[in-house]
């Protein structure tokens, strides 16, 4: 699923080499070659090192290691294609909101199933009841 062509283009673009990348990452060149062909998984540290070596944003490397998709798309999820005639506020160029609900429903539909809450977890319960405490009750602040 890795976008191998992109990685090799980045190497060629500035005259960098696979061997140079391997040296930077502290890996054998064959391991880097297998990684860029998708035969070996890329670790988070390797991803960061590759981004630094190629002088590209880490998010670009993260996206390309999963394929050509950019952004936060999940596997099995189709990208949202927005109707160009509807603005970000859900209004068409003439101010009509026809179609706005459909657009917002499509956004909500894309999020379905992306978060799983473990059984027994109450998301409304504070994580730590004393999270805002700035002093101990045994030592009151005197003014």
88-92 mean pLDDT = 49
pLDDT value, residue 83: 52
Q: Are 92 and 98 in contact (CB under 8 A)?
A: yes
pTM summary value: 0.49
Judged against a pLDDT cut of 90, whether residue 33 lies above it is answered with yes
pLDDT value, residue 119: 79
User: What angle do helix axes 58-65 and 44-54 make, rounded to 10 degrees?
Assistant: 120
Q: Are 62 and 47 in contact (CB under 8 A)?
A: yes
50-61 mean pLDDT = 91
To the nearest whole percent, how much of the chain has pLDDT over 70?
57
Instruction: Please give the structure tokens belonging to residue 125.
Output: 């319960």
Please tell me the CATH superfamily of domain 4-65, with its number.
lambda repressor-like DNA-binding domains (1.10.260.40)
Specify the domain boundaries for CATH 1.10.260.40 within the chain.
4-65
pLDDT band at 123 (very low <50, low <70, confident <90, very high): confident
Considering only CA atoms, which of 37, 59, 39 is closest in space to residue 48? 59
HSE, side-chain direction, 13 A CA sphere, residue 98: 3
pLDDT value, residue 116: 72
Please provide the distance, in angstroms rounded to a whole number, between the alpha carbons at the two ends of the chain. Answer: 64
Alpha-carbon span 27 to 19, nearest angstrom: 9
Judged against a pLDDT cut of 80, whether residue 126 lies above it is answered with no
pLDDT value, residue 92: 47
């Amino acid at each position: 699923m890795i976008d191998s062509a992109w990685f090799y283009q980045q190497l060629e673009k500035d005259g960098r080499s696979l061997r140079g990348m391997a040296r930077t990452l502290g890996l054998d060149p064959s391991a880097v070659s297998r990684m860029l062909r998708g035969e070996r998984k890329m670790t988070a540290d390797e991803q960061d090192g590759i981004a630094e070596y190629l002088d590209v944003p880490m998010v670009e490397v993260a996206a390309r290691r999963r394929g050509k998709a950019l952004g936060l798309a999940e596997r099995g999820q189709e990208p949202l294609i927005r109707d160009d005639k509807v603005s970000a506020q859900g209004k068409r160029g003439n101010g009509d909101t026809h179609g706005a609900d459909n657009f917002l429903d499509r956004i909500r539909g894309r999020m379905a199933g992306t978060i799983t809450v473990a059984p027994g977890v109450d998301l409304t319960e504070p994580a730590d009841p004393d999270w805002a405490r700035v002093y101990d009750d045994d030592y009151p602040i005197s003014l």
